[in-house]
Amino acid sequence: MCLAVPAEITEIGENSRAQVSIAGTVREACLDLVPEAKVGDWVLLHAGFAIQVLDAEAAAETLELLREGGVLG
Amino acid sequence: MKFVDEFRDKEVAQTILARIHEAAGRLQKPVRLMEVCGTHTVALFRHGIRALMPEQVRLLSGPGCPVCVTPTAEIDAAISLARQPQTVLATFGDMMRVPGSESTLLKERAAGRQVLVVYSPLDALKAAQKRPDHEVVLFGVGFETTAPLVASTALQAQQRGLRNFSVYSAHKLVPPALAALVAADDVRVDGFICPGHVSTVIGSQPYEFIPRDHGRGCVIAGFEPLDVLEAIWRLLRQIELQSPQVEIAYRRAVRPEGNPEALKRLSQAFVTVDAEWRGLGTIRRSGLEFREELSAHNAKERFDIQTRPVADPPGCLCGEVLRGAREPEDCAHFGTTCTPEQPVGPCMVSSEGTCAAHYRYGEAGRRVEA
Amino acid sequence: MLEGTITLAHGGGGRLAQQLVREVFLPHFGNAELARLNDAAEVLVQSNRLAVSTDSFVVTPHRFPGGDIGSLAVYGTVNDLAMMGARPLCLTAGFIVEEGFELDALAQVAGSMAEAARRAQVPIVAGDTKVVEHGSGDGVFINTTGIGEVVLEPAPAGERAQPGDALVLSGRVGDHGMAVLMARNEFDFRADIVSDCAPLWELVEALAQAQVEVHALRDPTRGGLATVLNEIAGAAQVGMIVQEATVPVSEAVRGACDMLGLDPLYVANEGKLVACVPAQEAQRALRVLRQHELGREAAIIGRVTASGPPGRVILDTAVGGRRVLDLTSGEQLPRIC
C-alpha cells in the first residue's frame, strides 16, 4: 500500500519544495512532512512527498547484523 | 549508502534464508504469517521469495491493499464524479481498473470523461490551478502513508484559496483493521509482517495490542528482499522463543514515535469515522473524513453524490481472501471467470491484490519448478 | 522555416496538395522514384523471398529525447522486416494530419523520417496525405509499409525456438518507453534517458554474415521484453528461464521505474532485439553483436527449456528467488501502492 523510494535531496526551494534524485531521475518533492530535512539527506519519496528522513547509520547497522548472521536481537 | 541495492544483496539473502529454514525445522507445527500490506505481497512475489519458503511457513496476504478494500460504492462515487460536466477526476493509477457496479475509471476515460492519472496529490492541485473553469476532484485512496500527503495538499489548497479543488476521501486506517482481523474466529495468524511505510507515519505503538492482548508478534518491515526475509526470520524467532512483541526491523525508516509532523497534518485535516471495508464490513473509527473547516475541499460536501451499497458479485471470495481466511485458489472464479483481464473482484484487479499476485506469479511460487 | 498550418484543402488532391508534396515531402524524401510522382512506385527486386510489414504510429508527444514520430515510423517497420531476417528494400509513408497542424512541424517530421531512412539505407518511394478535421486526430498519424528481401535462410520464426537455445538480448531495456513517458510530462520527472530508437537490420545482417544460426528474432516494443519472450515461448510451446541479474537496465531507467512502480521488463524498446540461438552459438552471437555500436551491451539472459507447462517463462530473480514472468493485461500504470 506504500510504494516509496529512497531519494537524495539535491536542492531546497521555497514553500517546502525540493528537488530530489532517485538514482539520477530528478523530481520535485514536497518536504512539508519532513521540515527538518536538509540538502544531502536521503528521504523516502512517496507520491511526490518526502515522508521520512532515512537513517544511514541504522541502515548500515542493519546490514552488518544481517551479514554477520548470529543472533538478531 | 544508496538504501536500495545493499538490501537486495543475494549472498546476504541466502544467509537469512538458511536461518529461516533452520528455524522452520525447529517449529512444533506449521505457522501462518500474514503480510498485512499489499506492497509486501508484491515484493514477496516479485523477488520470487515465496518460492523459497520452507514448507512449514505459510504466507498469507492481508487486507492492506487500499484498492482491494475500497467498497464498490466508492468506486461508483468516483465514476459519478468523473461524469459530472466540467469536472476532472484525478486518481492514482492503482484505481483505474477496479470494477464499480457497471464501469471502471479506465472505461470512463475511454468513453471521453476527464479522468486524470496522477503520481502525486500535488499534480491534482496543479491541474486545478491550470484549469480554473473546471472542478478537479482527487479520489483519495490509501492508508496512513498517503493520507498525510492528501491532508497536506488539501491544507495547501485552503491556504491558496483554490476554489475548484476538492478531495473525495476514501482513506482508511490499518490498526483498526488489524484489530478486527485478530478478533475474527476464522483466521489463524501466528505473526504479522507489518507495513513499513504506514509505520513510518504511525510508529510502533499502534500495534502493541496485538502481542499484548492476542499473544502474536509483529515485525515492522521494509520492502526490499532483505527486509522481508529479515521480518520472516524475526517472527519465527519470536514464535520459537514464545515471546511475541512489536519489533521494528525497518530501523532506517521507522521511529517508534512515527513521523509527528505527518500525524499532525492528519489531525489538522481529518477526523476518524466508521468506514466500510470490502470483505471486513464496517469497522469502527477506521476511516478518515475531512474536518468542518475543510468542507470547501470535501467533495462529499461540494457534490451531490448518490450511490447505493453494492453487494459483492456472487461467488466472489475477495472478502475471505482479504482476511486470510481463504486462498485465491479456493474461489470458483479464480483463473476461470476471474482473471486480470476480466476481473470479478478487486483482489484480481489490483497489481498487489492477492488473487492477481497468485495468478500472475504462480501459487505461492510452488508451481514453479526448474 | 515553413509558415502556416495544414488545412483541409491540403488533403484535397488539388494544387495545395501538390504544393505540400513538393515543399514538405520531396525535399526530404527526395529520390528518383518518388520524384516521378506516379500513382505507384516501381521497384526492381531480384529475390523471390519477400517480406512485407505495415505499422501505424500514433505516439504522443511527437517528439521525445532520442527521436520523434517520424524516426519511429521508419525504424519500427524496418525493424519488423529485420526480425524476419529481411533487408529493407523500400518504404511507403501515409500521413493523416489534423487540420491546424503546423506546416513546419510536419516538415520536421519529414526531415526526421528522411534521416532515419538514410541511416537505415531504405528509400521512401511512395506516400499519401489525408487531412482530417480539427479534433479528429492527434496532430499527425503515420503509417509505413515496408518491403524487404528475406536474407536469412531459414527465416527466423517464434515457433522455431528450441529447448537448449540461448536467449541473447542486444542491449539494455526500458529506455524508449521511459523517454516517451518523461516527454509526456504527466509525472514531471527528468532523467538522463534517451529513446533507443534505431534500425536493427545491420545487427541482423552481422549475425547472418557470421553465419550464426538464428531460430527466432523479436524486437521487444510495446509490452517490453517480458511480452516478446512470452510470445516466443507460446509460439514454440516451450519453456524459458531468464536470469534477472543479466538483463541490462540503465540506472536512470531503474530509478524512474522504481519511483513510479513500473517494471523495466515490460517497458517498450525501439532499438533492441532478442534472439534464440543454439546454445553452442551463443558466445559467438554475443561477440558479433557487441562489435556493432547498437549491440555493445548485448548479454545472454537465459535459455529455452523443455520443462514446465509450455509457454511459461520463469524469472530467476536477482536475489535468488524464482517467479513466473507473465503477460500483463494492458498498459502498466504508475502506482502508489
Q: What is the pLDDT of residues A3-36, one digit of tens each?
A: 999 999 999 999 999 999 999 999 999 999 999 9
Q: How far apart are CA A24 and CA B229, in angstroms?
A: 28
Judge: C324–B361 Cβ closer than 8 Å, yes or no: yes
Burial (CB < 10 A; 0-12, 13-18, 19+), residue B234, is buried
For position B270, which CATH number holds? 3.40.50.11740
Burial (CB < 10 A; 0-12, 13-18, 19+), residue B241, is exposed
Residues of chain C with Cβ-Cβ distance to B67 below 8 Å are 337
CA distance C333 to chain A (A): 13
Same structural domain, B165 and B278: yes
C334 touches chain A (CB under 8 A): no
**Do residues B66 and B351 lie in contact, with contact meaning Cβ atoms separated by under 8 Å?**
no
Residue B369 domain flag: no
A24 touches chain B (CB under 8 A): no
pLDDT digits (tens, 9 = 90+) for B251-281: 999 999 999 999 999 999 999 999 999 878 8
Residue A34 domain flag: yes
Chains A and B form CB pairs within 8 A to the count of 132
**Per-residue 3-state assignment (H helix, E strand, C coil) for chain B:** CCCCHHHHCHHHHHHHHHHHHHHHHCCCCCEEEEEEEHHHHHHHHHCCCHHHCCCCEEEEEEEECHHHHCCHHHHHHHHHHHCCCCEEEEEEHHHCCCCCCCCCHHHHHHCCCCEEEECCHHHHHHHHHHCCCCEEEEEECCCCCCHHHHHHHHHHHHHHCCCCEEEEECCECHHHHHHHHHHCCCCCCCEEEEEHHHHHHHCCHHHCHHHHHHCCEEEEECCCHHHHHHHHHHHHHHHHCCCCCEEECCCCCCCCCCCHHHHHHHHHHEEEEEEEECCCEEEEEEEEEECHHHHHHEHHHHCCCCCCCCCCCCCCCHHHHHHCCCCHHHCCCECCCECCCCCCCHHHHCCCCHHHHHHHHCHHHCCCCC
**Do residues B82 and B138 lie in contact, with contact meaning Cβ atoms separated by under 8 Å?**
no
Residues of chain C with Cβ-Cβ distance to B45 below 8 Å are 323
CATH for C8-150, options being 3.40.190.10, 1.10.4160.10, 3.40.50.150, 3.30.1330.10: 3.30.1330.10
Same structural domain, B59 and B74: no
Same structural domain, B92 and B154: yes
**Do residues B291 and B191 lie in contact, with contact meaning Cβ atoms separated by under 8 Å?**
no
Domain range for residue A30?
5-68
pLDDT digits (tens, 9 = 90+) for B147-159: 999 999 999 999 9
Residue B311 domain flag: no
Judge: C324–B96 Cβ closer than 8 Å, yes or no: no
Instruction: Return the sign of the alpha-carbon dihedral for residues B95, B97, B102, B108.
Output: positive
CA distance B268 to chain C (A): 23
Same structural domain, B164 and B112: yes
Say if the ipTM goes beyond 0.85: yes
Same structural domain, B158 and B290: yes
> What b/e readout covers C204-221, taking b as 16+ CB neighbours within 10 angstroms?
bbbbbeeebbbbbbbbbb
Judge: C191–A24 Cβ closer than 8 Å, yes or no: yes
List per-residue pLDDT tens for chain B, 370 residues long: 889 999 999 999 999 999 999 999 999 899 999 999 889 988 998 899 988 999 999 998 888 888 888 999 999 999 999 999 999 999 999 899 888 889 999 999 999 999 999 999 999 999 999 999 999 999 999 999 999 999 999 999 999 999 999 999 999 999 999 999 888 877 789 999 999 999 999 999 999 999 999 999 999 999 999 999 999 999 999 999 999 999 999 999 999 999 999 999 999 999 999 999 987 889 999 999 999 999 999 999 999 888 788 887 888 888 888 888 888 999 999 989 998 888 888 788 777 788 888 887 764 344 444 4
Judge: A3–C336 Cβ closer than 8 Å, yes or no: yes
CA distance B328 to chain A (A): 19
Same structural domain, B324 and B206: no
Same structural domain, B169 and B271: yes
Domain range for residue B334?
318-364
Q: How many CB atoms lie within 10 A of CB C241?
A: 20
Could you say which of B1, B16, B149 has the minimum Cβ distance to residue A47? B149
| Span(s) in chain C for CATH 3.90.650.10 | 158-324
Same structural domain, B12 and B54: yes
Write down which chains contact chain B via at least 3 CB pairs under 8 A. A, C
Number of independent structural domains in chain A: 1
Residue B309 domain flag: no
Residue B91 domain flag: yes
Q: How far apart are CA C319 and CA B334, in angstroms?
A: 29
Nearest CA in chain B to A44: B253
Write down which chains contact chain A via at least 3 CB pairs under 8 A. B, C
Could you say which of C319, C323, C335 has the minimum Cβ distance to residue B92? C335
Same structural domain, B202 and B273: no
For position A62, which CATH number holds? 2.30.30.140
Same structural domain, B241 and B355: no
Residues of chain A with Cβ-Cβ distance to B41 below 8 Å are none
C258 touches chain B (CB under 8 A): yes
C337 touches chain A (CB under 8 A): yes
Residues of chain B with Cβ-Cβ distance to A70 below 8 Å are none
Could you say which of C308, C317, C330 has the minimum Cβ distance to residue B47? C317
| Span(s) in chain C for CATH 3.30.1330.10 | 8-150
Judge: C188–A28 Cβ closer than 8 Å, yes or no: yes
Chains A and C form CB pairs within 8 A to the count of 45
Reported CATH class of domain C158-324: alpha beta
Residue B153 domain flag: yes
Judge: A27–C258 Cβ closer than 8 Å, yes or no: no
A5 touches chain C (CB under 8 A): yes
B67 touches chain C (CB under 8 A): yes
A15 closest CA partner among A2, A1, A28: A28
